[in-house]
Amino acid sequence: MSSVIRSYVRLMDRLADFIGEFAKYLIYLMIAVLLFDVISDKAFSTVQNWTVEMAQFTLAAFYFMAGPQTLKDDKHVRLDLIYSHLSDRAKAMIDMVTVWIVIFYLSVMLWGATSSLKYSWATNQKLPSLWAPSLVPIKVLMVVCIVLMILQCFSIFFKDVAKVRGKVLA
């Protein structure tokens, strides 16, 4: 494989790890927000308008940002009835095909997410609640993370091609 592809794979893997490491701390933020909600309600009888929606946004950010690292580390859900019994080379050959299905799926998601983001941006879309937060930031994050997952899929494809050729690319 060329040095450009090797550099691309290393960059995408490092980027996926960095974003994934950041994302795991969002769970603690979500727990803190929900804990604040419970304490303010039970201890001070003060209901917060923003906490549940903030927790939902934080969880959404978590799973969007965890996507590239989940793909990189091969921790996603897979039906392993036959796959687990194959050699590494055969797995790589199957993955070289199935990664394009994932790229197609993510591309459709990207098309929908981009369309949704354009609408939210043009209309300054907000949630219909008392807090009424803008939906633009979470939709921007969604689009960026879907793009990162597609880029990670290309990295996976290059690694699988190298495995089929009997080389290691990482």
Q: What is the pLDDT of residues 29-87, one digit of tens each?
A: 999 999 999 999 999 989 898 999 999 999 999 999 999 999 999 888 777 788 888 89
Determine, yes or no, domain membership for 169.
no
Task: Give pLDDT tens digits for 86-131.
Answer: 899 999 999 999 999 999 999 999 999 999 999 999 999 999 988 9
Which residue segment(s) compose the domain that 96 sits in?
3-164
Determine, yes or no, domain membership for 46.
yes
Residue 114: is it exposed, middle or buried by C-beta count within 10 angstroms (0-12/13-18/19+)?
Answer: middle
Round to whole Å and give the CA distance between 167 and 2. Answer: 12
Determine, yes or no, domain membership for 64.
yes
Determine, yes or no, domain membership for 170.
no
Domain count, the chain: 1
Report residue 151 CA to chain centroid gap.
11
